[in-house]
């Protein structure tokens, strides 16, 4: 559990702020949300359609490396 907590902290998650998980389509984001809940995070949301929906909307900003 400590290793997972450390990884989320390194990624910049903040227990006092809402955390929204996302991935390509929403399935993997559910696993992250589950782990965050086990770690004691209380305000968690899953962006269900994730990047597949977001990237399809040309009006939204998107930076691609």
| pLDDT (tens digit per residue) in 9-33 | 999 999 999 999 999 988 899 999 9
Other C-beta atoms lying within 10 Å of the C-beta of residue 62: 9
Distance, in Å, from the CA atom of 14 to the CA atom of 43, rounded to the nearest integer, reads 10
Please give the angle made by the CA atoms of 28, 30 and 33, to the nearest 5 degrees. 120
Q: Pick one of 3.40.50.720, 3.40.250.10, 3.40.50.300, 3.40.190.10 as the CATH number of 2-54.
A: 3.40.250.10
Are 43 and 18 spatial neighbours (Cβ–Cβ below 8 Å)? yes
User: Which two tokens mark 27?
Assistant: 């399935």
pTM over 0.85: no
Mapped onto helix, strand or coil, the DSSP state of residue 21 is: strand
Task: Write down the domain spans for the chain.
Answer: 2-54
């Amino acid at each position: 559990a400590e290793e997972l907590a450390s990884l989320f902290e390194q990624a910049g998650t903040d227990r006092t702020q809402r955390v929204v998980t996302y991935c390509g389509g929403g399935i993997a984001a559910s696993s992250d949300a589950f782990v965050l809940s086990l770690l004691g995070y209380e305000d968690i949301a899953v962006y269900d359609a994730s990047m597949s929906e977001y990237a399809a909307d040309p009006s939204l900003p998107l930076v691609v490396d």
